[in-house]
Amino acid sequence: MKKLDALFVGLLLIGSLWAFIVNTASNTPTNRIQPCDIINIISQSDKYITTDELARRLMSDDPTLTLIDLRENKEFVSYSLPGAINIPIEKILDNEYRDIINQDVQTVVFYSNSSDLAVKAWMLTKRLGYKNNFILKGGLNNWVETILRPTEPSETASREEFERYNFRKAASAYFGGGSATGEVSTSAPKPKVAIKRKKKQAAGGGCD
Amino acid sequence: MGPLYPLGIISDEINMLIGFFIGIGFGFLLEAAGFTNTRKLAGVFYGYDFVVLKVFFSAGITAAIGLFLMNHYGYIDIQSIFYPKTFWIPTLIGGGIMAFGFLIGGFCPGTSLCAAVTGKIDAMVFVLGIFIGIFFYAFTYEPLWETLRNSGKMGKVNIADWMGISDGLFIFLMTVIAAIMFFAVTLIQKKVTSKRDYQL
Amino acid sequence: MDRSKTYMNSYLAGILIGVFMIAAYYFSGEGLGASGAMKAVVITAVNDINHDYAKEAHFFKARVKDEEKSPAKTWLVFEIIGVIAGAILSAAIYGRLKLQVVKAPHITNKTRLIAALIGGILFGVGSQLGRGCTSGMVMSGMGVLSLSGFIGLVAIFGGGYVIAYFFRKLWI
């Protein structure tokens, strides 16, 4: 019996030593972002969606699009993109939003005033292994500049640029930006976006 | 990649079935280790039987090592499993109440259930008591307990983070301390039981 | 030797319980628990008797929102049914299935039963207030290195040692 006891306690000690060694050997705990990961993530170029692309998808009522507004609720209420869901950046990891952000079907686009918060949110969610998440390039500032108040290209500009300008002018009218010089509408239409949730149960609680 | 059910990999029914089989294992082991005998349980506080301490710590340490390694090698996502949130004030007070419950009644909920179904009348009374306690708590929840229960909120706190050391180091230290404790309690038990017969 | 006095090696039992705990986490993301299932039973009973009350009272509200699903149909309840089956199985194998009152030699059955009832009531209240009992909060909490598990450990066992002296008549 004595020998058996020593064997089992020894097994526990070996196991814990194993945990200790792998923890120390990897030096940085597994749940921390390592520098090489950050470089890999930053150098990915397909993480952005341009304002033109977003406008096109919004205008075609693309049902697979989920817009996430990362700003404070106050800012969200005063102006937001059509159909956007407000998840302030500090709540991005909350369980209640996980189904919205982490799923395969929808294209999730993060935005804030610039692309600052969106990049942070994107890095976080990328690190968690979430797919199909994108950043609105230039954020709302860029949205206003390019879509709501497009500037007319100079006469020597290429045909492409004129086409883009025409598209933007149409988009501007669609999103209530009015003419290129008009006021930004504060009551953009907000069609409800149906969110297809991946089946996911919250982990329950032992005794509680 | 686990956990399987919260990630939607297995269905509701399979999950419940697995719960049933895991329960069988848990119940069998509790009984086989002697947890249905209230005298063996209470012995931990009087030095004549340390089975509770031995089983309890080896179980906790095994789970901690296993889950740490599985998380490390990517088999389970420790963030998506049941992780008790820390509310230190109610846990401390509730723990204190449970300490009295243990010393007076001689069981805890899991062990009392096992003991009750294997014929221990005292355990049946204890289970009845638990239900009375929960009913009492439920009907006096709003005036008496609600504020207290939600005080001292700290969220999901990992003890190793809280102490500022790595998980692996914490597990290792905990195991070493437990091993020393196992050795010490074996000596204590030998000494205490040599003086008189406790007729377990 | 009397078979009913034979027990499994404590460390082995502990390690195997640990393995089942890992399995519970791996398959279901749940910790092993007991008082949670008892709570579910209480909630179900109250909900069946008076649904309108359960909908309003804060203690029950969160669990009875879903009209379709019975609050008793949870993982923990199935787990506890398994625990009962497992305990009976083990007791049958070791020959410990016997109707009896287990107590220290110097106290009466009546004392033991009254103490058990009081202890049960205290555990019922304590486990609800402390958000879990010894298995669900402390043991499962230890497995995931949750601070609350260790606070519970100190409170229950530490508290136990502090007050053990006053209740020694019940046990030795």
Task: Kindly indicate the confidence band of residue B178, based on its pLDDT and cuts at 50, 70 and 90.
Answer: very high
Q: What is the pLDDT of residue A182?
A: 40
The CATH number of domain A38-138 is 3.40.250.10 = yes
Q: Tens of pLDDT along B112-142? A: 999 999 999 999 999 999 999 999 998 888 8
The per-residue DSSP string of A8-31 comes to HHHHHHHHHHHHHHHHHHT-S-TT
Contact C13, B60 (CB under 8 A): no
Token representation of residue B180: 């020393």
> If you measure CA to CA, which chain B residue comes closest to A93?
B79
> Maximum CA pair distance of chain A?
94
Which of A77, A33, B21 has its CA nearest to residue C85?
A: B21
Does C160 have pLDDT greater than 80? Answer: yes
> Maximum CA pair distance of chain C?
58
CA distance A146 to C131: 54
Which of A143, B137, B27 has its CA nearest to residue C124?
A: B137
Mutate to test the interface with C, among A12, A16, A23, A207 (most CBs of C within 10 A): A207
Q: Tens of pLDDT along A52-104? A: 888 888 888 877 888 888 888 888 888 888 888 888 888 877 777 777 777 76
Of A5, A205, A208, the CB nearest to C11: A5
Q: Tens of pLDDT along B73-118? A: 888 888 778 888 889 999 999 999 999 999 999 998 889 999 999 9
Q: What is the pLDDT of residue A39?
A: 67
Q: Which residues of B touch C58 (CB under 8 A)?
A: 141-142, 146
B41 in contact with chain C, both atoms CB, cutoff 8 A = no
Lowest mean pLDDT among A40-49, A97-106, A114-123: A40-49
Cβ-defined contact of A15 to B62 (cutoff 8 Å):
yes
Q: Which residues of A touch C34 (CB under 8 A)?
A: 207
Of A9, A29, A202, the CB nearest to B182: A9
Of C9, C33, C74, the CB nearest to A207: C33
- To the nearest whole Å, the CA of C141 is away from the closest chain A CA by 9
Q: What is the pLDDT of residue A193?
A: 47
Q: What is the pLDDT of residue A188?
A: 46
Q: Tokens 């209230």 correspond to what residue?
A: B38
Of A5, A205, A207, the CB nearest to C9: A5
Q: For all residues of chain B together, what is the average pLDDT?
A: 90
Instruction: Please give the span between the terminal C-alpha atoms of chain C, in angstroms, as a whole number.
Output: 24
Q: What is the pLDDT of residue A42?
A: 65
Q: Which residues of B touch C21 (CB under 8 A)?
A: 59, 62-63
* Bridge partners (DSSP) listed for residue A108: A66, A133
CA dihedral B175, B179, B180, B183 (to 10 degrees): 170
Q: Under 8 Å CB-to-CB from C144, ≥6 apart: which residues?
A: B63, B64, B67, B78, B81, B82, B83, B84, B158, C25, C31
Q: Which residues of B touch C20 (CB under 8 A)?
A: 22, 25-26, 29
Task: Kindly indicate the confidence band of residue A184, based on its pLDDT and cuts at 50, 70 and 90.
Answer: very low
Cβ-defined contact of B84 to A206 (cutoff 8 Å):
yes
Cβ-defined contact of B98 to C60 (cutoff 8 Å):
no
Task: Kindly indicate the confidence band of residue C116, based on its pLDDT and cuts at 50, 70 and 90.
Answer: very high
Q: Under 8 Å CB-to-CB from C114, ≥6 apart: which residues?
A: none
Segment holding A67, helix H or strand E: strand A65-69
Task: Kindly indicate the confidence band of residue C67, based on its pLDDT and cuts at 50, 70 and 90.
Answer: low
pLDDT greater at residue A150 or residue A27: A150
Does B197 have pLDDT greater than 60? Answer: yes
- To the nearest whole Å, the CA of C63 is away from the closest chain B CA by 13
CA distance C17 to B66: 12
Cβ-defined contact of A9 to C11 (cutoff 8 Å):
yes
Does C121 have pLDDT greater than 90? Answer: yes
CA distances from residue C14 to B33, B62, B99, C8, C166 in whole angstroms, order as listed: 8, 8, 21, 10, 29
Does B30 have pLDDT greater than 50? Answer: yes
Contact A136, A115 (CB under 8 A): yes
CA distance B68 to B74: 10
A56 in contact with chain B, both atoms CB, cutoff 8 A = no
Task: Kindly indicate the confidence band of residue B67, based on its pLDDT and cuts at 50, 70 and 90.
Answer: very high
Each domain of chain A, given as residue ranges in start order, spans 38-138
Task: Kindly indicate the confidence band of residue A181, based on its pLDDT and cuts at 50, 70 and 90.
Answer: very low
Report, as an integer, the average pLDDT of A7-34: 79
Task: Kindly indicate the confidence band of residue B60, based on its pLDDT and cuts at 50, 70 and 90.
Answer: very high
CA distance C154 to B164: 19
Does B176 have pLDDT greater than 90? Answer: yes
Of B10, B44, B146, the CB nearest to C58: B146
Here the ipTM equals 0.93
Q: What is the pLDDT of residue A29?
A: 47
